[in-house]
Amino acid sequence: MKSIIPAILIITIPFLSAGTIHAQENEIRKHSAGINLLQIPATTIDLTYDYSPKANFSYSFGAGYTFDYTKNFDLVGFFLSPHYKCGNNGYVMKQQSGGFLRAGMKYNFRKTTEKQNFFFVGGYLTGSVIREKAEFDNLENPDNPREKLSQTLFIPGMTASMGYQFRISGRLHSSVGVQFSFPSAKYADMYGYTNYIPGMGFMETCGSKKTVLFPMVYLNLVYLR
């Protein structure tokens, strides 16, 4: 957790010290960049960039990195997931880290850029790389020694989001909302049942073979340019 604090400061200081605004309030600002504050406790830097050629339409991109989710304080993710009594299938997670990319489009419920508080919906393609390390106790053969395991997986998926963006002051805005990610069947290759996918979120699956939904709540600090 301590290792990401300098990076967070470098990213957020320009947002908080934008300086004097020389542009008019109705100036068309097509570019915006943001950071998801709610993913910081999940040891994750989650950055966003939007390009809005029209008031009601945006191209949206995201990228980020999870340093180690096993050291998380992700209370939001914990409460979004159901919890089962099936345990973690004998796995003790030692590391969950990796990066992700996200690309898609958003529809903004506004007709002009003068409306700075508005709802939006979006759809994205998401690709995540997850590096896992774990220790495994064979529950069927308890006399076997504990195994040390590691693997790296690429998990693509689709993400839908909805939210509300509002102005704080000047060019500084915020957006709050929820996203739902549908990972490919590759997620079933992850260790155990307490699964975290960078850029998609956390879910306890209890070995379910059905389509699993990974929810995430976000609170972005956004700077418009």
User: Is pLDDT above 60 for 27?
Assistant: no
pLDDT of residue 25: 42
pTM for the whole thing?
A: 0.81
The per-residue pLDDT for range 164-185, each reduced to its tens digit, is 999 999 999 999 999 999 999 8
CA dist 221 and 170 (Å) reads: 13
Query: Does residue 9 form part of some domain?
Result: yes
| Ramachandran angles phi, psi of 81, nearest 5° | -100, 140
Q: How far is CA 78 from CA 60, 121, 158, 159, 166, in A?
A: 27, 24, 21, 19, 27
User: Is pLDDT above 80 for 198?
Assistant: yes
Question: Per-residue confidence at 121, pLDDT binned at 50, 70, 90?
Answer: very high
CA 162 to chain CA mean position, Å: 14
Query: Does residue 24 form part of some domain?
Result: no
Q: Which tops the pLDDT comparison, 152 or 114?
A: 152
- For the domain that residue 167 is a member of, what is the CATH number? 2.40.160.20
Which of 75-84, 86-95, 143-152 is predicted least confidently? Answer: 75-84
pLDDT of residue 32: 96
Q: How many domains does the chain have?
A: 1
Host domain of residue 81: 2-19+29-224
Mean pLDDT of the chain: 85
Query: Does residue 216 form part of some domain?
Result: yes
